[in-house]
Structure 1
Amino acid sequence: MIRFKKGMFSGKQYRDETSRKISWGHWFAFFNIIIAILISARYAFLIDWPDTLGGKLYFFVSLLGHFSFSVFAIYLLVIFPLSFVVKNDRTFRGLTVILSTICITLLLFDTEVFHRFNLHLSSVVWNLLVNPENGEISRDWQIFFAPMPIILLVQMLFSRWSWEKLRSLERQKWLKAVGIFFTSAFVATHLIYAWADAYLYRPITMQRANFPLSYPMTARSFLEKHGLLDGEQYTQTLAQEGRLDALKIDYPKHSLAFTPMEQKPNILLITVSGLRYDSVSPKTMPKLAEFATTSTQFTNHYSSGNTKSTGLVGLFYGLNASYTDSILSNHTPSVLVEKLQAEKYQFGLFSATHFKESLFRQALFRGMKLAKGKFGNESAVKNFNEFIAARKADNPWFAYLDLDLNISNVSEYGQRLMQMDKLIEQALMNVPLENTLVVVTSEYGLTFNALNKKDLANYFGRDQIQVPLLVYWKDLPAGIEKGLTSHTDLLPALMKNVFNVQNPFNDYSQGHNLFERNGDDWVLVSNYRWNVLVQPDGTQYHIDRKGNYKKFDRTYQEQSSERPPLGLFLEMFKRENSFFDK
């Protein structure tokens, strides 16, 4: 009988102790929710702060909802099970304090990572910052672990105080109401974002990546299925205005200053969409190859992206392609186009596709009259020749000739190159070369690999991103330049050598002066997801917005690489985010 009662007592004691640990855990989780929210309020000073009241209110709702849910999720997944497993209350509270200290320290660390690189913590980013091989960098970042003992002390003090005052705290009734408030904020965060995503409300959608581990809910498919959203119109609007999470752009960083121009050369820019790096040869394009012998030919040249729009961003803005959506949504003008207008250049803009890319009408040539007529390369070249014939010798002009190979299968490639070669010859025939700077290049090359649309969007093989670049100007020596160059290097060269800009390059570009360098150490090719570092030997290092990492050799074969080039990635992060408005 006595043995039976002892067993009953032991079971009741276990339940009481477990219940007390669970109750204490609620208060300890609430305490850490408050700490997490206070630390995370720093993101308000790091993000692209919205202009509208709705956007500002959403930030605070999402701040409360996201971090209250995140902390409580850790409690449910880790601390709550420990309440049943660890019998000793001191050991249980000690483990909880250690876990919460680590999580809060990582959150503090993440705010600084986001401040510097616009990325949240991942395994690659972690290795990048604390790797002992980067001694100076590692020591710099270890400073952010200095508050860890203070955080640990605060956690220990609250742990002991709340355990001793638990009976008094349990009589408080307001914690339940606070829990309902935080739950409502979490639900509201996702419902509001789903609405904003469906109705293209950018002050909210641009906050998608504000916080670590944040994945806001979208409901496009549901709304489209029930007839509440026009999917075709939605896709078209995104193509015109850029992705919804695009940030504001600060371009140029400072007003540009110029010295007077002694002479104003004409400028002709010819782009041939789909022209590969190996296309310009005496066999495939004899006339263009002949023109190349009188020009500066950059043979290790890369586009800024793997599509037409992303390549144009590098050429006209001097920026990497990750800014494409920001330029579209903010209708950002090019400093080159603005300077041409200020110098009273006459514009001749001709396109085989009638400038169908959104970048032309939304930003680059926004508000300008674009030539109309028949579609096709022949029509564009004919209109260009008529423009040249009508020019007076003393009036400087800028002409942009946008051509397109438009190939549906590989067998047409050689024939189309010969046709394009003749058209370019016709375009150059009547150009006064003695006072004209001519640039011939491509926004991207054609790949003959059988890829679906999704895979093609993230394909960065040499056939897609390495393109020809020919520059003819009387002030440049003819010859072959084998140094690594990028589309982003052309704009600084024009602004410095033609228009006499006085500002440093990093005020208006991420490239270098194409005319004054022997090649870059690396160039950056991008799209909305991936940043690709290309080295002179063709080796590529890929890293996406979530910190995923890949390495490819010159032939685009993926290589095993456990250790990314940490120093290069640090340089890339600094350059890549330099023009986002924060």
Structure 2
Amino acid sequence: MTKLQNQFLTKEQTIRSTTWGHHFIFLNCLLAILSGFTYVYGAPQTESFISFVYLIATWLGQISFLVFLCFLIFFFPLTFIGNFKVYRIISIVVAFLLHILLLVDAKLFLSLKVHLSWSVVSLMIRDLTFNTGLNFNFMYIAIPLVIFLELVFARLATREIYRQEVRNNYFPAIVMTVVTACFITSHGIYIWADASNYEKITNLRSVYPAHYPMTAKSFLTTHGWIEDITAQGNGSSTSNIAYPLTEIKFEEKNVQKNIVTIFINGLSYSDLDADTTPNLIKLKMDNLSFENHFLPYDDLYNNLFASWFGLPIQYEEIFTSHSVENVSNDVMQKEEYLMRGFISAVNGAQGEKLARMTGMNTNNKLKNLSSDIVLLNEAADFIEKNSEHRMAVTLSLNSLLNMNSIEAHKRHLKLLDSQINKFLSKLEEMNLTDRTMIIISSSMGNKFIGGTSIYSKKKQRVPFIIINPDAENKGVTRNVLTSSFDINPTIAVEILGVTTPCVNYGIGDDVLALEQRDYIPTTQGNNLLLISQDAVTIYKRNGKVVTTTEEEIRPARANLENLIRAMRDFNRFKK
């Protein structure tokens, strides 16, 4: 008899817990929807009515779906404890923790436009002091407020199940019908937007946490209407890359400028002196010079890719294999620019690789020459013959990389300094300098400069000189941090009149409009590097963080904000 009574009481307690849980979850769903409005506030600006409808429908649908999912995973199984009092206590604690996670995720999205993930959580766990670069002071108010609301919700849910009178309350049913309709509607709108490539909606994909909308391709593949291309093992594809992020718009400049880019590879900033490079020193003093220009990689080809696309090397393989053109190239073709490249002192395989990367592997657009001197002469002849056309000419001088001693390097650099000066004098004689922007830099530092650190700032710091016809840029020295990533955006904006923001086609900026930045992000093997004015911060694969200078390497604390911003920059063009 006692056993039957206990079974009856357990069943009654389970039924009571289930009924109470439904009321409790409904109230928490309303609170989660209210908190989730943060994502609507922090979302990119909607540019059409349909995208606004999608944003609101997804807000109501996705947040309520997450609450329903939490009910199935946590709250429903707990009802089988068979103890109503214990169930209420555990439910309040679980609901409180889930709301705090939602608030932390909302803070990350507002500040960094990312959501909680295992990598982010592991960083927070390692940095128990929360000294991560983010301000979580709002938690001092949020935590007691959430605790108070959970206690109120528990009390209201308890009162509801003990209410004597029977009443028809349609409000919960109406709310659940609306949010369910919103959930289905948002996925339907996204399928349409993906099928028609409507970027004003597809760009909102990552606004909400744990949101994985069905795409047109996945929907059609699931129903057998198209073949699953990824299952056929055809290799890499550009389907998982979005480049550029939006349509590139440009306005034709009043004065059409040519662009000549000269990379003196093997030259570091410290190589400049009055005896060896008097002409480069004079060019630096008389024009626009950026004093803190750093190469992101310790490899010639990688730095040339960074300069050409303004993107990290992670995109190189897929871009080269699918002949993806950079934004500047695309606009130049529309503007009927004559594009040519000249490289020297590289083997045939490297030349072919550069030709594929730059898209100059047709019609002999990229010439591989024996030496720097021959290159400068051929380039001058080409420019003279085509002086009536708009031109984009890139010179890659590589003889310094083949020097076998410091003395030989210095002798050749002195010769190169005078030859470059002659080349520029020829351009002036052709009356081209008043309508030509000339960029002088390097894509590889002096190999004879060593260092104990993983990244040698002395070696990787290279000259960056812009000879611009505009009078206001004469004799100007700037100390902002710049890198190879900035060259393509600078050409796009200043020469081609591209009005689309640089973030849509690169991780660099137009250096002529650049304000000071905190760091330059790059990678080395499995390490993430943040190059700042004073040091280089290295985030290693094993989670350790060190700060390096030319003199020492010392442990450092992770800055979550900087780390996530850098990771977001690197993954910006991945779907």
Provide the TM-score with structure 1 as the length reference: 0.58
Change (3 A) 1:66 1:399: same
Residue 158 of structure 2 corresponds to which residue in structure 1?
Answer: 160
Contact 1:380 1:401 in 2 (8 A): no
Cα offset for 1:147? 4.0
SS at match of 2:424: coil
Cα offset for 1:213? 2.6
Contact 1:198 1:220 in 2 (8 A): no
Q: How far apart, CA to CA, are the structure 2 residues paired with 1:192 and 1:477?
A: 52
Cα offset for 1:210? 0.7
Residue 94 (str. 1) matches residue 89 (str. 2): yes
Change (3 A) 1:205 1:321: farther
Match of 2:102 among 107, 112, 120: 107
Q: Show structure 1 runs of 5+ residues with no match.
A: 256-260, 283-287, 325-330, 362-370, 406-412, 448-459, 499-505
Aligned residue identity for 1:107: L
Deviations 1:301-360 (A, max 9, x none): 43468676654465xxxx999999xxxxxx9989xx99xx9xxxx9764346999779x9
Residue 206 (str. 1) matches residue 214 (str. 2): no
Residue 78 (str. 1) matches residue 74 (str. 2): yes
Q: How far apart, CA to CA, are the structure 2 residues paired with 1:204 and 1:132?
A: 35
Change (3 A) 1:332 1:384: closer
Cα offset for 1:15? 0.4
Q: How far apart, CA to CA, are the structure 2 residues paired with 1:78 and 1:175?
A: 21
Residue 120 of structure 1 corresponds to which residue in structure 2?
Answer: 115
Residue 9 of structure 1 corresponds to which residue in structure 2?
Answer: 5
Residue 350 of structure 1 corresponds to which residue in structure 2?
Answer: 340
Give the alignment of 1:134-213 within 5 angstroms: 137=135, 139=137, 142=140, 145=143, 147-148=145-146, 151-152=149-150, 154-165=152-163, 168=166, 186=183, 193=190, 197=194, 200-213=197-210
Residue 19 (str. 1) matches residue 10 (str. 2): no
Deviations 1:348-403 (A, max 9, x none): 64346999779x99xxxxxxxxx9754434599788424642688xx999854165
Q: How far apart, CA to CA, are the structure 1 residues paired with 2:129 and 2:246?
A: 30
Q: How far apart, CA to CA, are the structure 2 residues paired with 1:492 and 1:230?
A: 34
Q: How far apart, CA to CA, are the structure 2 residues paired with 1:516 and 1:424?
A: 29
Aligned residue identity for 2:243: G
Give the alignment of 1:267-306 within 5 angstroms: 268-271=260-263, 296=284, 301-303=293-295
Q: Show structure 2 runs of 5+ residues with no match.
A: 317-324, 343-351, 404-408, 448-453, 468-472, 496-502
Provide the TM-score with structure 2 as the length reference: 0.58
Residue 64 of structure 1 corresponds to which residue in structure 2?
Answer: 60
Cα offset for 1:16? 1.3
Q: How far apart, CA to CA, are the structure 2 residues paired with 1:55 and 1:563?
A: 41
Match of 1:430 among 423, 426, 437: 423
SS at match of 1:540: strand
Cα offset for 1:21? 0.6
Change (3 A) 1:483 1:106: closer
Cα offset for 1:12? 1.0
Q: How far apart, CA to CA, are the structure 2 residues paired with 1:532 and 1:50?
A: 34
Residue 376 (str. 1) matches residue 367 (str. 2): yes
Aligned residue identity for 1:302: F
Residue 539 (str. 1) matches residue 536 (str. 2): yes
Deviations 1:473-492 (A, max 9, x none): 696699xx999653477799
SS at match of 1:213: coil
Task: Count matched residues.
Answer: 491
Cα offset for 1:10? 1.6
Contact 1:540 1:554 in 2 (8 A): yes
Q: How far apart, CA to CA, are the structure 2 residues paired with 1:165 and 1:38?
A: 27
CA-atom RMSD, angstroms?
6.8
Change (3 A) 1:443 1:237: farther
Change (3 A) 1:117 1:279: closer
Aligned residue identity for 1:208: R
Residue 320 of structure 2 corresponds to which residue in structure 1?
Answer: none
Contact 1:64 1:186 in 2 (8 A): yes
Deviations 1:455-481 (A, max 9, x none): xxxxx9779x94743537696699xx9
Q: How far apart, CA to CA, are the structure 1 residues paired with 2:14 and 2:513?
A: 73
Residue 565 of structure 1 corresponds to which residue in structure 2?
Answer: 559
Deviations 1:520-563 (A, max 9, x none): 86433489x9974224576334599xxx96646769xxx99794
Cα offset for 1:227? 4.5
Residue 242 of structure 1 corresponds to which residue in structure 2?
Answer: 243
Aligned residue identity for 1:95: I
Change (3 A) 1:333 1:238: same
Match of 1:51 among 23, 42, 47: 47
Cα offset for 1:564? 0.6
Cα offset for 1:11? 0.5
SS at match of 2:35: helix
Deviations 1:32-86 (A, max 9, x none): 2232223323322321244355544433443333222211222222222322226
Give the alignment of 1:483-494 within 5 angstroms: 485-487=482-484
Deviations 1:190-220 (A, max 9, x none): 6765675566443333222111233445655
Aligned residue identity for 2:260: L
Contact 1:301 1:485 in 2 (8 A): yes
